[in-house]
Amino acid sequence: MTDTLQKSVVDTATAHSPGLKRSIGVVGGTLLTLSCVTPASTLFVIVPDLFSSLGTATALCLVIGALLCIPVAFCYSELGTLIPSAGGEYAIVSTLAGRLAGWLAFVMSLLVVMIVPPVIAMGTADYLAPVIHLDPSWTGAGVMLAATLAGLLDLRANAWITGIFLVLEVVAAGVVALLGFTHSHRAVSSLGSLQVAGGHAHVNPVTAMMVLSGLAIALFATQGFSTAVYLSEELENPRRNVARTVLATLAISSVVILVPVVAITLGAGDLKALTSGDISSMVIAWSNSGVGTFVSLCVALAIINAGIVMVIQNSRVLFASARDKAWPSPVNKALAKLGRFGSPWVATLVVGVPGAFLCFVNLDTLYGVTGVAVTGLYLLVAVAALLARRGAHGGKQAWRMPLWPVMPVLLIAVLLYILVEQDPTYLWWTGGITAVATLYWAFYLRPRRETRWLVSLPEDVQEEAVA
């Protein structure tokens, strides 16, 4: 919306507020974004659920999920270069589809950013078990606090920290792939069929419903590439580097996840071992306990790595919402504060500390809600992509996706189908939260439209828009 952009440019409070520093390039941005995808933790934590339900068809489902992520990545690449803001989806949707739609995008993203990190952090204890047995809740809380402390540092320093961890997890995935391929027990043709463990293993053709049952998990496996948009205010030359970071992350993460999945499928000693999803046991069977321990520790580091990047990403969302005056003045002032390292330290604490407490809460239902929220968020982004080339936005310099508008239209259709197939309980919870958010918009934000929810862009992008 042009009016929104003009208001943000002339708003003096926003214009003089401190901004994030552009300090990282494509390599640093890709390392941070890949760390949010966490290929190794995806392989060891998320993929086993697919093995248990789809067996040898897991790789096929992940391929379909990765292909579906291509139009999503195209949308993020174009919109992230057009509107490079730490607000991510909500800044994009607000600017292109209206302030109410942007507010709902923010609420959905807030659900995800507050719940997903502690859920993942609690998985650390399982992979530290070969060395020490710890309580999952206390371990998860410790990971969240450590990630919060790391999030207070300079972003360039975090790029190095997460980069080192990322190398270790990629090495672990490579070890698993090598062992699986060198202990192959079945033909490559088995990847296109569903084998069920039983008294007599038999092969069934993969149906659309089987693929759909695992597609939501498959989408989640590589969805972290959107982190590049949240980091766009700190990327050098965002008009070029956001798209490069998004697409590079999707390509690399897909390979790092898919190759070991194929190797595990071919190398599993029997169907029961494969559908159990116990990858660590398979690694030990292929090698020895020492290698299994090494792989497990690398996965634990991958989860910690993901916690650091998620805290960094999520604090930027809260920072941007305060800068855009989404809250009462005292809250906005606090969340917009930058520390000595240039990071939004209050926003970082607000994300990380409650996340530590959430590790002691049963998050099964809330985790289901985040699945619905992610689907709804992608849906709003796809709608924004349809509107990205109208009016003044069509003439701006930005990376442009191929096959527009076919890509976003197909994406909208698929996401709507996935959305209606979700558990009704999660749909009701998400709908209720959305209704409360709409009431906040109607009774607080909308009556104060001149002073609240003024979605802004970084100063260098504002100057380019005015010019």
Q: Is the four-CA dihedral 39, 41, 42, 44 of positive or negative sign?
A: positive
How far apart, in whole angstroms, are the C-alpha atoms of residue 90 and residue 122? 28
Print pLDDT tens along the chain (467 aa): 333 333 333 333 334 445 566 667 778 778 778 776 777 777 877 788 788 777 788 888 888 888 888 888 899 989 888 888 767 788 889 889 889 999 999 998 888 878 878 877 887 887 787 778 888 889 989 989 988 888 787 656 566 776 777 788 888 889 999 999 998 877 777 676 665 554 444 545 556 666 666 676 777 677 778 778 877 777 877 777 888 888 888 998 889 899 999 999 888 877 777 888 788 888 888 988 888 888 888 888 878 877 887 788 788 878 888 888 999 999 999 998 887 767 788 988 998 898 898 888 776 676 677 778 888 888 999 999 999 888 777 777 778 888 899 989 998 998 888 788 778 888 898 899 999 999 999 999 999 988 998 876 655 455 454 44
Give residue 164's pLDDT: 78
- CATH superfamily of the domain spanning 2-13+24-457: Amino acid/polyamine transporter I (1.20.1740.10)
Torsion from C-alpha of 65, 240, 306, 379, nearest 10 degrees: -40
Residue type for 418, please?
Answer: I
Give residue 179's pLDDT: 92
How far apart, in whole angstroms, are the C-alpha atoms of residue 408 and residue 385? 6
CA-closest candidate to residue 249, choices 22, 43, 23, 28:
28
Structure token pair of residue 465? 């828009």
Non-local (6+) Cβ contacts of 454 within 8 A are 4, 7, 8, 11, 14, 324, 325
Map the chain to HEC letters.
Answer: CHHHHHHHHHCHHHHCCCCCCCCECHHHHHHHHHHHHCHHHHHHHHHHHHHHHHHHHHHHHHHHHHHHHHHHHHHHHHHHHHCCCCCCHHHHHHHHHCHHHHHHHHHHHHHHHHHHHHHHHCCHHHHHCCCCCCCHHHHHHHHHHHHHHHHCCCHHHHHHHHHHHHHHHHHHHHHHHHHHHHCCCCCHHHHHEEEECCCCCEEEECCHHHHHHHHHHHHHHHHHHHHHHHCHHHECCHHHHHHHHHHHHHHHHHHHHHHHHHHHHHHCCCHHHHHHCCHHHHHHHHCCHHHHHHHHHHHHHHHHHHHHHHHHHHHHHHHHHHHCCCCCHHHHHHHCCCCCCCCCHHHHHHHHHHHHHHCCCCCHHHHHHHHHHHHHHHHHHHHHHHHCCCHHHHHCCCCCCCCCCHHHHHHHHHHHHHHHCCCHHHHHHHHHHHHHHHHHHHHHHHHHCCCCCCCCCCHHHHHHHHC
The pTM for the full model equals 0.76
Burial 99-137 (b: 16+ CB within 10 A, else e): bbbbbbbbbbbbbbbbbbbbbbbbbbbbbbebeeeeebb
Peptide bond into 330 cis (omega under 30): no
Task: Give how far Cα 437 sits from Cα of 313, 430, 431, 442, 453, Å.
Answer: 22, 11, 10, 9, 13
Torsion from C-alpha of 291, 293, 295, 297, nearest 10 degrees: -150
How far apart, in whole angstroms, are the C-alpha atoms of residue 231 and residue 396? 21
Residues 244-267 pLDDT 10s:
888 888 998 889 899 999 999 888
Task: Give how far Cα 128 sits from Cα of 136, 291, 350, 360, Å.
Answer: 10, 14, 27, 19
Q: What are phi and psi of 215, to 5 degrees?
A: -70, -35
Query: Rounded to a whole number, what is the largest CA-CA distance in the chain?
Result: 73
Structure token pair of residue 138? 């206390």
Q: How far apart are the first and last CA of the chain?
A: 17
How far apart, in whole angstroms, are the C-alpha atoms of residue 435 and residue 416? 19
Structure token pair of residue 373? 């929220």
Give residue 192's pLDDT: 62
Task: Give how far Cα 28 sits from Cα of 22, 54, 164, 170, 395, Å.
Answer: 11, 36, 12, 16, 30
Exposed / middle / buried, residue 337 (Cβ in 10 Å: 0-12, 13-18, 19+): middle
